[in-house]
Structure 1
Amino acid sequence: MGSRHATGSRLSQALNFQRKPGHRLMPGKPNPERNRVQQRWEEVFGSPPPPYLSVGFMENALAYDVQCRAHGRLPTALKRALRAIADGRSVAETSKGRLRPGAHLVREWNGRTYQVEVLAEGYRMDGRTWASLSAIAKHITGTTWSGPRFFGLGAKGNNLRILDQKVEGKAKKGRQVSKK
Structure 2
Amino acid sequence: MSRGTIDDAALEAEIGQLPALSLLELRNRWKTLFSHPAPKSLRRNFLARAVAYQMQVEAYGGLSVATKRRLREIAHAVRTGDANAMLGSNRIKPGTQMIRQWQNTTYAVTALAEGFEWNGRTYKSLSAVANAITGTNWNGFAFFGIKRAPSGNKNASGPRRTSSRANPDVGTVPVSKVKSTRSGRNA
- TM over 0.5, shorter chain: yes
Query: What is aligned with 2:137?
Result: 144
Distance 1:18 1:87, change over 3 A: closer
Structure 1 range deviating more: 108-117 or 50-59 = 108-117
* 1:74-85 equivalent positions in 2, closer than 5 A: 76=67, 79=71, 82-85=74-77
Query: What is aligned with 1:119?
Result: 112
CA deviation after TM superposition for structure 1 residue 134, in Å: 1.0
The one-letter code sitting in structure 1 at the alignment partner of 2:135 is: G
Query: What is aligned with 1:89?
Result: 81
The one-letter code sitting in structure 2 at the alignment partner of 1:135 is: A
Q: As a proportion of its length, which structure holds more strand? A: 1
- TM (norm. structure 1) is 0.56
Query: What is aligned with 1:19?
Result: 20
Tell me the secondary structure at the aligned position of residue 87 of structure 1.
helix
Distance 1:87 1:145, change over 3 A: same
Unaligned 5+ segments in structure 2 are 1-10, 151-187
Structure 1 range deviating more: 38-47 or 82-91 = 82-91
The whole-number CA distance in structure 1 between the counterparts of 2:94 and 2:63 is: 31
Query: What is aligned with 1:43?
Result: 32
Tell me the secondary structure at the aligned position of residue 109 of structure 2.
strand
Contact 1:81 1:95 in 2 (8 A): no
Q: How many residues align?
A: 137
Query: What is aligned with 2:49?
Result: 60
Distance 1:49 1:90, change over 3 A: farther
How large is the RMSD of aligned CA atoms in angstroms?
3.7
- Larger radius of gyration between Structure 1 and Structure 2: 2
Specify which structure has the bigger relative contact order, considering alpha-carbon pairs within 8 angstroms and separated by 6 or more residues: 2
Distance 1:141 1:55, change over 3 A: same
Query: What is aligned with 1:6?
Result: none
